[in-house]
Amino acid sequence: MSHEHPLQVPPYFSEVLVYCVPMNVLEYIGDPNIVWGSPEHERRLLEHTNGPFHFLTSIEVDGDINHLASFDNEGAPWIVIVTNDLYISFYNCRMSYPILFKCTEHPDFDYEVRVFQ
């Protein structure tokens, strides 16, 4: 029976693909005064033939991701990833290396990082 044999899960990673869209483009395309699917809406969509979203970066993380957040710091886009192994990783989407923080375990506290804001 399967419960008698532990499953051997091979190492895996999670991948985060980061895209952005300028706010003015998003507001222009999603204008609430324009009827979705109308000729005017179609015209606005066709103005962005390559699509409004632009690829910034991809990030590979070993294992599972508990939480993902994004923020802007002086015009630079950042992604924050919290993983199961108590790491908080900060990624500047314009650079190729993360800033890692390891949350140390404490014998008096049983905690798990679930959210970062």
pLDDT, the chain, mean: 82
Q: pLDDT band for 22, please (50, 70, 90 cuts).
A: confident
Has residue 1 got a pLDDT over 60?
Answer: no
For 27-38, how does the pLDDT look when each residue is reduced to its tens digit (9 = 90+)?
Answer: 988 899 999 889
Q: What is the band of 113 on the pLDDT scale with cuts at 50, 70, 90?
A: low
Backbone φ and ψ of 44, nearest 5°: -65, -40
48-to-17, 19, 51, 87 alpha-carbon distances in Å: 21, 15, 5, 38
Distance CA(116)–CA(21), nearest Å, equals: 23
Q: Flag whether pLDDT at 115 surpasses 70.
A: no
pLDDT, tens digit, 9 for 90 and up, residues 61-88 = 888 888 888 888 888 889 998 887 778 8
The per-residue pLDDT for 117 is 58
List, in sequence order, every residue forming a beta bridge with 55; answer none if it has no partner. Answer: 19
Given the DSSP bridges, would you call strands 87-92 and 76-83 parallel, antiparallel or unpaired?
antiparallel
Global pTM value: 0.65
